[in-house]
Structure 1
Amino acid sequence: MVEIRQEIDSDRNELFQIHQDAFQRDDEAQLVDKLRQNVQYNFNLSFIALVKKKIVGHLLFTPLQINYPTSGKSITSLALAPISILSDYQRQGIGSKLIEYALHELKAQGYSSVIVLGHEHYYPKFGFLPAKKYHIRAPFPLANEDCFLALELEAQALPLHDGEATVQYLSEFGI
């Protein structure tokens, strides 16, 4: 049985280890620590998966801007990044449960959209579509544009008539 809750400050060290284990490097773990220092960091956007009271997964959302240079419009959205599941618990559906729960919570909290750079065949099962369908581009070159995806949590949250848009991540992402 998977339990999901929001992050609390005392989870910090365990979460660092989960990201290290899941990615087999420190980059994502260090990114999460950097993001925690940003004034926009919100514990309500950080979700923890537990199995038998053990933390086995983490999913973080952070604010981002979608900028439309032609119209001068800019809208706030969320970035889904990173998501990590301990290697011993991967491929058991925990990540999917974590994403489903978190998206439901975000909708309840009034958030309108989410952007993710991820697997083009995994995220569509949660309703994500290639961001290019919304005329939204990544702020960096991609080998496969279908891996840059968007989800509207609220109908018509992503305007289709304001021209091409580019995502702007928080500076901690180094983009």
Structure 2
Amino acid sequence: MELKIRQEDKKDFKAVFELIEKAFENVAFSDHREQFLVERLRVSDAFVPELSLVAEQNDQIVGYILLTKIKIKNETGKTAESLALAPVAVLPDFQGKGIGGQLIRTAHDKARTMGFGSVILLGHEKYYPKFGYQMTSQYGIRLPFDVPPENCMVIELIPGALKDVSGVVGYPKAFFE
């Protein structure tokens, strides 16, 4: 069964909504509203259509990933652009088969090609380091809310992209509505 990863299309919205809902249904550290976050982000200035990807198997959407634009702002007010990974989701029956990993690697490659230098996420401390993620604290980057530091991670897509970058992540207001 071949996996096809492609840019999400408007006709996919309903299937993606349901996929995200099912994927996070039994996740303990979830507000179970990730599908609504995606809807809000799609209509925000942070949305990058090329970085909203679906994974298809036998014409069924089985996975989804979204990277959106964020800023990192230091104490002097200087900002640097980055991306937020939220969410990556795979239908429960397809989890554990590497689909999430393929979505992450494909999204990283597309973002790098588009000139984005880094991705920040709040996620599982044992899963994301496999893809090169490190704790944001190693770069002097903080999230704007209180969460365990081991779950706040970043990856440089372009070596040196985070040189001289530090501060607090500024998420689009869609993350807080």
The TM-score bracket by the shorter chain reads: over 0.9
User: What's the counterpart of residue 46 of structure 1?
Assistant: 52
* Letter of the 1:22 counterpart: A
CA distance in 2: counterparts of 1:40 and 1:169, whole angstroms: 9
Counterpart contact for 2:135–2:153, Cα < 8 Å: yes
What is the CA-CA distance between 1:39 and the residue it aligns to?
3.1
Aligned residues: 171
- 1:6 aligns with 7
By how many angstroms is 1:53 displaced? 1.4
Matched letter for residue 151 of structure 1: I
2:157 alignment partner, one of 153, 157, 161: 153
Q: Return 5+ residue gaps in structure 1 as ranges.
A: none
- The residue number in structure 2 matching 1:169 is 171
* In 1, Cα distance between equivalents of 2:78 and 2:159: 18
With over 3 angstroms needed to count, the CA separation of the structure-2 counterparts of 1:118 and 1:37, relative to structure 1, is: same
Fraction of identical pairs, as percent:
38
SS at match of 1:14: helix
Q: Which amino acid is 1:145 matched to?
A: P
Q: Which ranges of 4 or more aligned residues in structure 1 deviate by more than 2 Å? A: none
Three-state SS of the structure 2 residue aligned to 1:132 is helix
Residues 33-83 of structure 1, C-alpha deviation per residue, up to 9 Å, x if partnerless?
1111213322101011011111001100111110101x3210110000011
- Unpaired runs of 5+ residues, structure 2, are 26-30
Offset, 1:137: 0.7
In structure 2, distance between residues paired with 1:40 and 1:127? 24
Alignment partners' CA distance in 2, 1:105 and 1:22: 24
Show CA shifts across 1:70-99 (max 9, x none). x32101100000111111111111101111
Q: Which residue of 2 aligns with 1:18?
A: 19
Residues 97-112 of structure 1: matches in 2 within 5 Å? 97-112=102-117
Q: 3-state DSSP class of the match of 2:50?
A: helix
**Aligned with 2:73: secondary structure?**
strand
Residue type of the alignment partner of 1:157 = A
Q: Give the Cα separation in 1 of the matches to 2:104 and 2:46.
A: 21
Three-state SS of the structure 1 residue aligned to 2:47 is coil
Distance (whole Å) between structure 2 residues aligned to residue 26 and residue 153 of structure 1 = 29
Normalization by structure 1: what TM-score? 0.92
- Contact 2:46–2:70 under 8 Å retained in 1: no
